[in-house]
Amino acid sequence: MRLAELSERSGVSTATIKYYLREGLLPPGERLTATKAEYGEEHLRRLRLVRALIQVGRMPVATAREVLKAAEDESLSQHLRLGAAIWALPHGPGPEQGTPETARAREQADALLERLGWAAHDRKTETPSPAYRMLVEAIASLARLGYPHDTGHLLPYARLVSELAVHELDVVQTYDTPGEQIEASVALTVLYEPVLLSLRRLAQAEESVHRFDEA
């Protein structure tokens, strides 16, 4: 398809598509003439992912490019890329280096991951992932403000997201090709975050009302 059709089918303006092409978020189309190129279904799919990252995930363009780079990293096996791309997704600000709470929070995060038997991916990389740093910072905030944050309090969250990950990867595997699976995996990780957070609040409000109305 040509640029105009890609724009119509994706709902993204031609100006924005050209910007994504210049920024390397979208691979170039097959050049037909000096000014015309042909785009395929893979461009349409990639555009949906880019919009998920930038519009819903509110990532800066540079960050979205990092995530897409991880998804395409040829040095990793096709299948490891899937984990690597989720791994590279951005997070809130990193831990405040060097506070006593941060050092302690790192120990607690490690103890939790050890207990869960996770960190399969971590052992293959030199630097901690954004997700790991986000966990450390979250534990440090809880500690700093005097709220419960021991392994016993963290485990229920870990167990539930483990169950969820099985369901989520089942959904990812309904996509046909490895390339589509990686893109869907990253997009669904980002797009289902607000689903998870909003339902959690609704569930809490519901549970509060039931529990205390009946008390």
| Distance from C-alpha of 201 to C-alpha of 151, rounded to nearest angstrom | 23
Binding mask 114-133 for its own copies (x = CB under 8 A): ----xxxx-------x-xx-
Q: Contact between 189 and its own copies (CB under 8 A)?
A: yes
Q: Per CB under 8 A, which of residues 22..51 are in contact with its own copies?
A: 48, 51
Q: Contact between 157 and its own copies (CB under 8 A)?
A: yes
Based on CB atoms, which residue is closest to its own copies, 29 or 129?
129
| Distance from C-alpha of 31 to C-alpha of 36, rounded to nearest angstrom | 6
Based on CB atoms, which residue is closest to its own copies, 34 or 94?
94
Q: Per CB under 8 A, which of residues 60..89 are in contact with its own copies?
A: 77-80, 82-84, 86-87, 89
Q: Stretches 22-30, 34-42, 60-68, 198-206: which one binds its own copies (CB under 8 A)?
A: 198-206
Based on CB atoms, which residue is closest to its own copies, 32 or 161?
161
The number of C-alpha atoms within 13 Å of 52 and in the hemisphere containing its C-beta is 21
Based on CB atoms, which residue is closest to its own copies, 30 or 79?
79
Q: Decide: 183 and 26 in contact? Cβ < 8 Å.
A: no
Q: Contact between 161 and its own copies (CB under 8 A)?
A: yes
Q: Decide: 59 and 53 in contact? Cβ < 8 Å.
A: yes
Return all residues near 97 (Cβ < 8 A) that are at least 6 apart. none
Based on CB atoms, which residue is closest to its own copies, 30 or 176?
176
Identity of residue 202: L
Report how many helices (DSSP H) and strands (DSSP E) the chain contains, helices first. 9, 2
Nearest approach, Cβ of 32 to its own copies (angstroms)?
27
CA–CA–CA angle 165, 166, 172 (5° rounding): 85
